[in-house]
Amino acid sequence: MESSAIRSVRPSPTLAADARVRQKIAAGEDVLHLAFGEAGLPVLPAVAEALARGSGDNRYGAVAGSAEARTAAAGYFSRRGLPTGPEQVVFAPGSKPLLYALLNVLPGDVVLPCPSWVSYAAQAELAGKHVASVPIGEAGGVPDCVALEEAARPGTLVLTLPDNPTGTVASPELVREVAAIADGAGLAIVSDEIYRDLAFDDEFLSPAEVLPEGTIVTSGLSKSMALGGWRIGFARMPDSDLGRSLGNAVAGLASEVWSSLAAPMQHVAAYVLSEPQEVRDHVAASRRLHRAVSLAAWERLTGAGVECRRPGGGFYLYPDFEPLRGRLGIETADGLAELLLERFGIAVLSGPAFGDRPDGLRFRMATSLLYGRGDEQRWEALASDHPAALPWIAAALDRLEAAVSTIARS
């Protein structure tokens, strides 16, 4: 067989960027790694103990997850204003496969905010879907309402609350407005709420509260508990006919592709999602740390003349260097990312990875890998009242500011 006959599937830009940066670091280069969306924090010991307790469980188990894990997830959603029964919950090895399964089985086109998380468009393409990309307005994660009115058509609208890549959180009013447009157009909503517990303010509205029958919520423990490598994701199907059909379809796809979330991880999920005080405290400390460092980075960037939406949750910023275009002598987002890496040793992920225009001078930076070189520094950062002042974090922020100021002065 000719190798050219093989269907080409590119690696996810975020994983590819991480591999490239780690190679540079391994080769002895001093790189400030802002290109990867990993939570950058240690495992809570009580969670490691839950995994140890579950390690003897070597059964395949039910596709959607154990009764304990599904009940705990139902409680998790119910405590957040979304009354949920265990039968509405499906677990998987990460929320990524759940999003892929949903985009596969839901009918119609896929409508995405632009920019949006790297994998939605790639997954939609793998699922053979047409993607309509709609620009964001004041906040990321949801499309601008006027543009959405024009682009709306039956299918699936994916929202990200809080957002990756912009780090913003759509206001409740905006969520209501977007949900009303989606409802009118026959769009089901997939609300990716994997950063929900890392929203800085209490003001959070899930579209599932506004459109309970037509909204699917996805989430996981990769971000709030920094367990990305443990691959624990879950989805809440609506309590409606659509929800029951979707739950069956997603579980059917899961049964043919990944079978179930690894059984020991289901024990972890049951423990974490029952939210004992220790877990709540850990998530609260993580949220404080992400907030302090991303806001400190935002202040440095905007202080140097760069435009940037103020972050409201998670650990991302999406700066726009348009005001500095004349001084850069660079015309593309990729050129800007390359300049930052080669001249200043700062790795970021350029805007087009998120569907943004190649000639927009924007990129995503994650602040979460700045918390320390090892677990000792990371625990110190978690416990600190002023983490941005810790020497290793302050040095990284200084380096970022110096690079941007050099560009602004040139």
Residues that bind ligand PLP (CB under 6 A): 37, 94-96, 117, 160, 164, 192, 194, 220, 222, 228, 233
Task: Find out whether the peptide bond into 212 is cis, omega within 30 degrees of 0.
Answer: no
Q: How far is the CB of 158 from ligand PLP (least distance, A)?
A: 9
Q: How far is the CB of 355 from ligand PLP (least distance, A)?
A: 13
| Residue closer to ligand PLP (CB basis): 265 or 403 | 265
| Residue closer to ligand PLP (CB basis): 222 or 350 | 222
Q: How far is the CB of 222 from ligand PLP (least distance, A)?
A: 3
Structure tokens at 49: 């103990």
> Got the DSSP string for 49-82?
HHHHHHTT------TT--HHHHHHHHHHHHTTT-
Q: How far is the CB of 99 from ligand PLP (least distance, A)?
A: 6
| Residue closer to ligand PLP (CB basis): 279 or 324 | 279
Using CA atoms, how far residue 397 sits from 12, 14, 293, 401, 402, in Å, is 27, 22, 9, 6, 9
Task: Find out whether the peptide bond into 276 is cis, omega within 30 degrees of 0.
Answer: no
| Residue closer to ligand PLP (CB basis): 95 or 350 | 95
Q: How far is the CB of 198 from ligand PLP (least distance, A)?
A: 11
Spatial distance between the Cα atoms of 111 and 134, rounded to a whole number of angstroms: 7
| Residue closer to ligand PLP (CB basis): 13 or 345 | 13
Nearest to 182 by CA among 233, 106, 246: 106
Instruction: Compute φ and ψ for 149, nearest 5 degrees.
Output: -55, -45
Spatial distance between the Cα atoms of 399 and 388, rounded to a whole number of angstroms: 13
Structure tokens at 368: 């979460």
The residue number with the shortest CB distance to ligand PLP is 94
Spatial distance between the Cα atoms of 293 and 366, rounded to a whole number of angstroms: 10
Tally the residues of the chain: 410
Q: How far is the CB of 37 from ligand PLP (least distance, A)?
A: 4
| Residue closer to ligand PLP (CB basis): 212 or 228 | 228
Q: How far is the CB of 226 from ligand PLP (least distance, A)?
A: 11
| Residue closer to ligand PLP (CB basis): 77 or 117 | 117
- For the chain, first and last CA: distance in Å? 54
Spatial distance between the Cα atoms of 4 and 8, rounded to a whole number of angstroms: 8
| Residue closer to ligand PLP (CB basis): 349 or 393 | 349
Q: How far is the CB of 224 from ligand PLP (least distance, A)?
A: 11
| Residue closer to ligand PLP (CB basis): 253 or 404 | 253
Q: How far is the CB of 402 from ligand PLP (least distance, A)?
A: 28
Structure tokens at 371: 């918390």
Using CA atoms, how far residue 380 sits from 33, 277, 280, 376, in Å, is 20, 20, 18, 6
Q: How far is the CB of 389 from ligand PLP (least distance, A)?
A: 28
| Residue closer to ligand PLP (CB basis): 293 or 407 | 293
Q: Which residues of 386-408 are buried (b: 16+ CB within 10 A; e: fewer)?
A: ebbebeebeebbebbbebbeebb
Q: How far is the CB of 164 from ligand PLP (least distance, A)?
A: 4
| Residue closer to ligand PLP (CB basis): 246 or 324 | 246
Q: Which residues contact 379 (CB under 8 A, 6 or more apart)?
A: 42
In the β-sheet with 349-350, what is the strand arrangement from edge to edge? Answer: 316-317, 363-366, 349-350
